Amino acid sequence: MSNKLVDPFGRAINYLRLSVTDKCNLNCFYCRSDPNRCTVEPSEEELTVDHYRQISEVAVALGITRIRLTGGEPLLRTDIVDIVKSIAGTTGIGDVSLTTNGMLLEKMAEELAAARLKRVNISLDSLDEANFRQITKGGRLKSTLKGIERSLQAGLVPVKLNVVLLKGINDHEIEKFIRLTLDRDLHVRFIEYMPTTGQQGKWSQYFLDLARVMEIGASVAPLQAVEGEHGGGPARYYTLQGAVGKIGLISPLSRHFCACCNRLRVTADGKLKPCLFSEDEVDLRPALGDGEKLQEKFREAMALRTDPRIAACTPGERSGQFRGKRFMSQIGG
């Protein structure tokens, strides 16, 4: 029997998202529905550096080649550099990256790069200070922009900017975001609003099909699809004629990608999630310290992977399939 992870529907798994905390220094309304959970207090439930090393070693042995650190806000972990070093030092790992809101990145980008972090994804939902502050419930746009600049300087490239598109809130900024790719090596990725725990009722109010991005992009300059740029992920990439950077579209509702899903997620408290849609979880904690038992836990999660055929429905029907009990910040995106 092959040692690689393949689910019952034939999908090979080579990408693991490790959440290192569910704490955050922002409180974006689409990520949480309980503002009281927005705290930076440490948690005894969070996995340790050694736990992440163990999980990474087992994951790589099972065919994982890419690991992304997520949150919450990963940079709130005082030992985040040690976590990066530990995972990047795993024999066989091809790519270690990190998703952040960028607020703390200006001071940490060079140290993270020295720890062998390859690249960063930075959440940026508005280029307007007031709108950014409203979406994030108090964030400082200048801090994130400085984090982007420092990441480019530190070589954490390509820098990918994640824009959750929200109808009536930031859709008037689509063209401004698109134009960022004209003369800078930035991947601006638009993400459809995705209802999760506590957010289902807001779905129709904020959802906007990403076809609108293509319309606006084509009005700026001719668009061309970038072949071979998916990297096993959900984004479809395009370039404006003559542009340095790229435009990415991530469409979990209007153009689902379940059939080619190649990822698993581990929460900060040690639960392995086989599917973002599902409430199913496998607790890794009892197996920590035993590599064989950890492998068994990963294979247990494989059996719980969701049938991709459930995705064959309209965006409205699909929005009702999110059955998890965790906020997005608790899952790691």
Q: For residue 3, is it within any domain? A: no
The answer to whether residue 315 is domain-embedded is yes
Name the residue among 183, 191, 186 with its Cα closest to residue 157.
186
Q: Which one is predicted more confidently, 257 or 86?
A: 86
SS3 (DSSP) at 12: strand
10, part of any domain: no
* Tokens matching residue 110: 């060079």
Check whether 1 has a pLDDT greater than 70. Answer: no
Read off the pLDDT of residues 102-159 as tens digits, 9 standing for 90 and up.
999 999 999 999 999 999 999 999 999 999 999 999 999 999 999 999 999 999 999 9
Q: Report the CATH number that the domain containing residue 159 is assigned in CATH.
A: 3.20.20.70
Does 6 reside within a domain? Answer: no
The two most distant CA atoms of the chain are separated, in Å, by 56
Instruction: Please tell me the total count of domains within the chain.
Output: 1
Asked, for residue 4, whether it belongs to a domain, the answer is no
pLDDT at 200 over 70: no
DSSP annotation of 89 reads: T
Query: Does a structural domain hold residue 109?
Result: yes
Between the two ends of the chain, the Cα-to-Cα distance in Å is 32
Q: What is the rounded CA–CA span in Å between residue 209 and residue 123?
A: 19
Residue 1 domain-assigned (yes or no) = no
Q: Which domain holds residue 240?
A: 15-331
Question: What pLDDT shows up at residue 133?
Answer: 96
What per-residue confidence (pLDDT) applies to 284? Answer: 98
pLDDT digit string (tens) for 44-55? 689 999 999 999
User: Is 9 within the bounds of a domain?
Assistant: no
Give the tens place of pLDDT for each residue, 292-332: 999 999 999 999 998 887 655 555 554 455 555 665 656 66
Report whether pLDDT(99) > 50.
yes
**Buried residues in 112-141 as b, exposed as e (16+ CB within 10 A):** bbebebbbbbbbbbbbeeebbebbbeebeb
The structure's pTM equals: 0.91
Q: Please give the residue that has the higher pLDDT: either 52 or 234.
A: 52
Do the beta carbons of residue 19 and residue 268 sit within 8 Å? yes
The answer to whether 93 and 55 are in contact (CB under 8 A) is no
Query: Quick one: the chain helix, strand, coil %, rounded to 5?
Result: 35, 20, 45
* pLDDT above 50 for 212: yes
